[in-house]
């Protein structure tokens, strides 16, 4: 049995579908602080499997112990965390408490219950922004936000845990920028309130919820002056988790990899691809640079290809098509 924490969230729900499609027995937990219970019906509609789900906080040690008593859990994929970079600057303690508390309680209970296999959601935000691109796994680390520090500190905690208990094997997966949605249009990204990230903002402009996109800066040192990122289809990302799980379960030890496409696209590249895929015009205005942003980063994805035999398959156009299908079939998300 595989445990997914943060299972009803954006990446968790897509990974859950991939695991069920691959025949895994899965139990999901989430406290629904940033997701919707209706995800469960959607997962069932896609997979024809009724998802096993328990609403609980991953920081709740007693609830975790009961869960491990109820199910014989072989491995955990840990997505549960708060992820809004800006909010983490205003509420750092909430972020440290939730994200570090979650990993602490989870790994303590895992140790107690003899479950030593963990896939951890890390992020490209752990790389020092002064690194040259593409980012490689061995490059210097650093962070500019409490959110980023929770990921860096979690990685460190897990490394220390591995040293103290060599039974543990951990996959540290550093994600770049997930966008897109399941091809069915049944599950996708459903941000609360005004989206912070580019793709959900674009799709809300396309559906008429917002008048225009503000592009943060047109004077960056990039090919067209707008920010460059490594956008990866969420289903490709989800499949990377299955590869990582197989790697850990085959007893090869721990692994640290980037999950990205290895290609950078600008804000304007994404807008153009989206307009083509959706056949809609995206009005935009240039606005000042967003505080904390950097010009460009993308992944070196060679290690994931070599060690996990994984590479992203979907291109930018497909990411836009799937994001648009999700948004147009669900104008108000899961509500
Ligand atoms: P998400 O917010 O959609 O999913 C996270 C889920 O965790 C939510 O359903 C939320 O309700 C749940 N959760 C949060 N705290 C919890 C707690 N204490 N107990 C139980 N459930 C809790 O986010 P996502 O985009 O699916 O991200 C999943 C993971 O990937 C997170 O750890 C995030 O930091 C990491 N990540 C995301 C991105 C991205 O751009 N989406 C990039 C890099 C890393
Ligand atoms: N961006 C933008 N307008 C928005 C949201 C984002 O121009 O409304 C830009 C942002 O400056 C960055 C890129 O889009 O260059 C990706 O931003 P996102 O927040 O999605 O990802 P992150 O910056 O966290 O990598």
Q: What is the atom index within ligand 1 of the atom nearest the CA of 57?
A: 19
Cβ proximity of 122 and 255 under 8 Å: no
Q: Is the CB of 232 under 6 A from ligand 2?
A: no
Those residues of the chain that have pLDDT short of 70 are: none
Residue 123 lies in a domain: yes
Residue 20 lies in a domain: yes
> 147 an active-site residue?
yes
- Parallel, antiparallel or unpaired: strands 169-175 and 255-259: parallel
Specify whether the CB–CB gap between 288 and 218 falls below 8 A.
no
For residue 86, the enclosing domain spans 2-179+231-259+299-312
List pLDDT tens digits, range 69-106: 999 999 999 999 999 999 999 999 999 999 999 999 99
Specify the pLDDT at position 239.
Answer: 98
Using CA positions, which residue lies closest to atom 14 of ligand 2?
198
252-275 pLDDT, tens per residue? 999 999 999 999 999 999 999 999
The count of domains in the chain is: 1
CATH for 52: 3.40.50.720
Whether 224 maps to a domain, the answer reads no
Q: Does 194 fall in a domain?
A: no
Smallest CA separation from ligand 1 atom 16, residue: 80
Provide the whole-model pTM: 0.98
> Is 286 part of any domain?
no
| Residue 226 CA, ligand 2 centroid: distance in Å | 10
Annotated active-site residue in 10, 95, 135, 147: 147
Question: Does 244 map to a domain?
Answer: yes
pLDDT at 292: 84
Nearest protein Cα to ligand 2, atom 2:
215
**Pocket test residue of 227, 289, 299, 316 for ligand 2, highest count of atoms within 8 A of CB:** 227
- Assigned domain for 174 exists: yes
Other Cβ atoms within 10 Å of 224 Cβ, number: 12
If one residue of 293, 295, 298, 319 were mutated to test the ligand 2 pocket, choosing by the most ligand atoms within 8 A of its CB, it would be: 293
Query: Looking at the domain assignment, is residue 85 inside a domain?
Result: yes
Please name which ligand lies nearest the alpha carbon of 124. Answer: 1
């Amino acid at each position: 049995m595989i445990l997914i924490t943060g299972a009803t969230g954006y990446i968790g729900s897509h990974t859950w579908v991939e695991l069920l499609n691959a025949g895994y027995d899965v139990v999901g937990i989430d406290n629904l602080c940033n997701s919707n219970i209706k995800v469960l019906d959607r997962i069932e509609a896609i997979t024809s499997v009724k998802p096993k789900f328990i609403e609980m906080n991953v920081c709740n040690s007693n609830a975790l112990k009961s869960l491990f008593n109820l199910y014989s859990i072989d491995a955990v994929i840990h997505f549960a965390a708060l992820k809004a970079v800006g909010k983490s600057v205003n509420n750092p303690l909430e972020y440290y408490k939730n994200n570090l508390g979650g990993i602490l309680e989870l790994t303590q209970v895992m140790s107690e219950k003899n479950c030593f296999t963990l896939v951890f959601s890390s992020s490209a935000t752990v790389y020092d922004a002064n690194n040259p691109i593409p980012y490689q796994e061995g490059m210097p680390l650093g962070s500019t936000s409490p959110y980023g520090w929770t990921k860096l500190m979690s990685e460190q905690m897990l490394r220390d845990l591995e040293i103290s208990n060599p039974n543990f094997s951990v996959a540290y997966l550093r994600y770049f920028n997930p966008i897109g949605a399941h091809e069915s249009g049944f599950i996708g990204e459903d941000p609360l309130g005004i989206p912070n990230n580019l793709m959900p903002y674009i799709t809300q402009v396309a559906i008429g919820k917002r008048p225009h996109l503000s592009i943060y800066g047109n004077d960056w040192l990039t090919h067209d002056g707008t920010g460059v990122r490594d956008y990866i289809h969420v289903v490709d990302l989800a499949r990377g988790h299955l590869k990582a799980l197989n790697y850990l379960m085959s007893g090869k030890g721990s692994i640290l990899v980037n999950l990205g496409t290895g290609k950078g696209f600008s804000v304007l590249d994404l807008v153009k691809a989206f307009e083509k895929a959706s056949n809609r015009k995206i009005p935009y205005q240039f606005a000042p640079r967003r505080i904390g942003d950097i010009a460009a980063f993308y992944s070196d994805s060679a290690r994931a290809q070599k060690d996990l035999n994984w590479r992203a398959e979907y291109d930018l156009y497909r990411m836009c098509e799937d994001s648009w299908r999700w948004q147009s079939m669900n104008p108000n998300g899961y509500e």
